[in-house]
Amino acid sequence: MNERTHREKHSRKKVTVKDETKEKAKLLKAQKFHSELTNHLIKKSTCKDLDSLESLARLLQINPEFGTLFNYRREILLNFKQSLETNEQSSDGDDPEKQPTEELWKKFDQLCEKELMFTENCLQSSPKSYATWHHRIWLIKQMRNPNFNRELELCNKCLSLDERNFHCWDYRRFIVQFGKIPTMDEFRFTSKKILDNFSNFSSWHYRSSLFRQLLAENYDHKELQSMIDKDFETVKNAIFTDPNDQSPWLYFRWLIDFEQELLSFGDEKEISPKCYPQIERFVWSQNHHLLAIEFNRSLDRFPFEIRINQQKIDLNSFHPKFNGKIWIVRYVDQPNTSSSDSIRFEFSKNQTTILKHEFNVENINDCCVYNRIFVDNDYGQRQNIRTNLIRKRIDDLNVLLEIESDSKWPNYMLTIALDTDNFETNLNANNNNNRLDRLISIDPLRCNYYKDLKKMTILKQKLFSKDFDQIIKQIL
């Protein structure tokens, strides 16, 4: 997709142009709908027989967004279904007047099939109708043997007309889950959609959820890694095709994080990094009754209880910084915590301690810094492997940056991808800060976000320098 087309889809406001002919047609449609609805409500306000479906169909063909009428159709179908269940419970094989239950169930399935065909007609005139898609989901749940392949074909047709129809994407996810469609089949589907159009963000997003599903299904990790390698090549092709298209960039960032998670999954088999947070480093100031804790991933809530010298402490406040990856915790000073020599973080679920980090500290006066990469040699080696892998993944971005030096996305992605860098040398940190300064000038609307990232870089520098006064100053 060329740059102009991309701007038309993602960077330009929709301009509404008044058309008198359309306005008149819209008014006539509303009048016709009101007339039909009034006549119907007068005649059949309390009737729930199957014949009412036809008159309701005429109304919904005029306006498929009228959810109340779909509710009415569901009541009619449910009424018929309940009569079947009653008939089944009181069935008597010797009663010749009773129609066989199986035949009645077939009739119900046929009604549902007709309803599906009807909703398909409604979608042709209104492909983003909430009420129509919801009604279709309800029908599939009521049927005994729905045709899931047909439903996927319908999704294919709708997405070929509008690849960003989120109603259809939601419906497809429902069909895949409810019909137990193999995850790899859907993975291949996203491959086709992405190759059709690199700007199809919905396909990239769906693909990320399928990767996680494969991981949950214990799919072979070597196969997953091979798929990740292929995706990096696809993303790079998309990036070089249009460096300003945000869709592949966002997936590129996600893919880097997912690959790191996959590596962690293999390193710590007893702990799933998807579920449980790990502490990378923390700063502890007893004089300020303050802790700054960095986790291995962003968190939306603080997950730990804290114990100092085995005594649980009360937390005054805790709030996230830098997208929830670092948390600043203030606690209430309590007896037996003034000369501390140990601190423990406990993660509990269902009143059971699942994970705990305990650290022994000697000769602490005011401030101490724990950095996992210095203490755990094996972890330090693994982190170096991860950092080198990330640098390999983003190596081509430097080439792109030489061509598009003022492009936002290459600058931003290099900064974010190297967020795992330990900044042991000032050169690494200075390069990051220079890119952030450039981003502030290129993208002033998000300047405060870039300034936050810059503060995080400076804080990491101080953590490695162990300059306690500067560390506390940066935190406060």
Lowest mean pLDDT among 359-373, 374-388, 429-443: 359-373
Lowest mean pLDDT among 78-82, 209-213, 298-302, 400-404: 298-302
Average pLDDT, the chain: 78
Amino acid code (one letter) for 457: T
What topology does CATH give the domain 279-375?
A: Immunoglobulin-like (2.60.40)
pLDDT digits (tens, 9 = 90+) for 18-52: 567 777 777 777 767 666 665 665 455 556 677 77
What gap in Å lies between CA 261 and CA 165, rounded to an integer? 30
pLDDT digits (tens, 9 = 90+) for 149-192: 999 999 999 999 999 999 999 999 999 999 999 999 999 999 99
Joined together, the tokens standing for residue 165 give 């129809």
pLDDT at 42: 45
pTM over 0.85: no
What gap in Å lies between CA 367 and CA 179, rounded to an integer? 57
pLDDT digits (tens, 9 = 90+) for 109-159: 889 999 999 999 999 989 999 999 999 999 999 998 999 999 999 999 999
Three-state secondary structure readout of 293-336: EEECCCCCCCCEEEEECCEECCEEEEEEECCCCEEEEEECCCCC
Going from N- to C-terminal start, the domains of the chain cover 24-87+101-181, 182-275, 279-375, 378-475
When pLDDT is cut at 50, 70 and 90, the band that residue 13 belongs to is: very low
Structural contact between residues 320 and 295, judged by C-beta atoms closer than 8 angstroms: no
Cβ atoms within 10 A of the Cβ of 276, count?
15
The SS3 assignment for 97 reads coil
As a CATH number, domain 24-87+101-181 is 1.25.40.120
Separation in Å, CA 229 to CA 175, 189, 223, 236, 324: 29, 18, 10, 11, 29
Give the rounded distance of the alpha carbon of 136 from its chain centre.
24
pLDDT at 272: 44
DSSP class of residue 418 equals: G
pLDDT at 12: 41
Edge-to-edge strand list for the sheet holding 342-349: 311-312, 304-308, 342-349, 352-360
